[in-house]
Amino acid sequence: MDSATADVAHDFYPWFRVYTDGRVERFLESPLVPPSLDVRSKDIAISATASARLFLPIAAAPNEKLPLLIYIHGGFFSIESPFSSTYHGYVNSLVAQSKVIAVSIQYRLAPENPVPACYDDCYAVMKWVAQHKDCAHRPGLDPWLSEHADFGKVYLAGDSAGANLGHNMVVRTDGDGHWLKKFSGLVLIHPFFGNEEPDKLWEFICSDSGGVNDPRLNPAAHPCLLSKLRCEKVLIFTAGLDQYKQRGCTYYAALKKSGWEGAVEIENAPGENHVFHLSDPTSDKAKAMMKKVASFINPANMPPLCEKEAGCAINSA
């Protein structure tokens, strides 16, 4: 069959379409960009399927220890990359503002690589990062992490599907001796979680789905797992016009009720859509969100929000 005339077999627009000849067409993707110069950055191949872009502030002094941020990009498990202009720009700006060292994870995308490939790739990067803890230089390790990462201040963050992956990495690393007893914090921006209704996209891209209450998809349905979340604090962002807003609110409520002993905070941006901060990063609300995240992961480096900034995006959900 001619690829140009193939029929649509599965339509998940605006994320992707799968045609009867096996071709996958993606939408909403940003162009790829090289590592930057304003904040030092470089790309690292970690395994045959996983890689990352590392970011280090130019202002970092030799051997200066900085909080470590592990960032996981969104895109409904099927589009985008840490190398795209969208995510490179966001993490680059966050590193510059917060003065942290960051690892932005590249994972395999669905539907060609069904779930759990993305979870496995993120975990592979997490294990690689953890090898730098208390280690001198040796083959396979990166000197930026060995010299500058403070493993007493490790944060995970992600948006949309990346927030889902971030939560699951905290859960999955439980019992991994490389990591500390607790992560310092978890940032969930407009998280993509499930609810009690079937999700056609998840069912299509997941090769081992446990249904609507799969703990990877719907953590709110598993209070026992939430109660053991190895994280000191959690910051959740929602957006007023986001169709997934209630998923973040449900996670927040379930975490509070689970008996978990950490601190959880939720912020809502009224009148905004899903991941608005990426599509319009110069807006007042996006700038206020950026400053909130930066102060969460490195409060020692950040002045408090001014009155105007606090009024832009900081609202009770």
Cα angle, residue 293 at apex, residues 311 and 240 outer, rounded to 5°:
50
CA atoms of 131 and 107, how far apart (whole Å): 19
Active site residue 160: yes
Active site residue 274: yes
Query: Taking a C-beta distance cutoff of 8 angstroms, is the pair 290, 91 a contact?
Result: no
- What is the CB-side half-sphere exposure of residue 41 using CA atoms within 13 A? 28
Active site residue 207: no
Measured CA to CA in angstroms, residue 65 lies from 127, 154, 237, 301 at distances of 20, 12, 28, 13
Catalytic residue among 88, 167, 190, 274: 274
Peptide bond into 34 cis (omega under 30): no
Query: Taking a C-beta distance cutoff of 8 angstroms, is the pair 103, 91 a contact?
Result: no
Catalytic residue among 242, 258, 277, 295: 242
Can you state the angle between helices 284-297 and 85-98, rounded to 10 degrees?
60
Q: Within a 10 A sphere around the Cβ of 260, how many other Cβ atoms? A: 19
Q: Within a 10 A sphere around the Cβ of 14, how many other Cβ atoms? A: 10
Catalytic residue among 51, 160, 258, 295: 160
Where are any strands of DSSP class E within the chain? 8-12, 16-19, 24-26, 40-45, 51-56, 66-72, 101-106, 149-159, 185-189, 233-239, 263-269
CA atoms of 274 and 278, how far apart (whole Å): 9
CA atoms of 80 and 306, how far apart (whole Å): 33
Burial class of residue 200 (count of CB atoms within 10 Å of its CB; 0-12, 13-18, 19+): exposed
Q: Which residues are catalytic?
A: 160, 242, 274
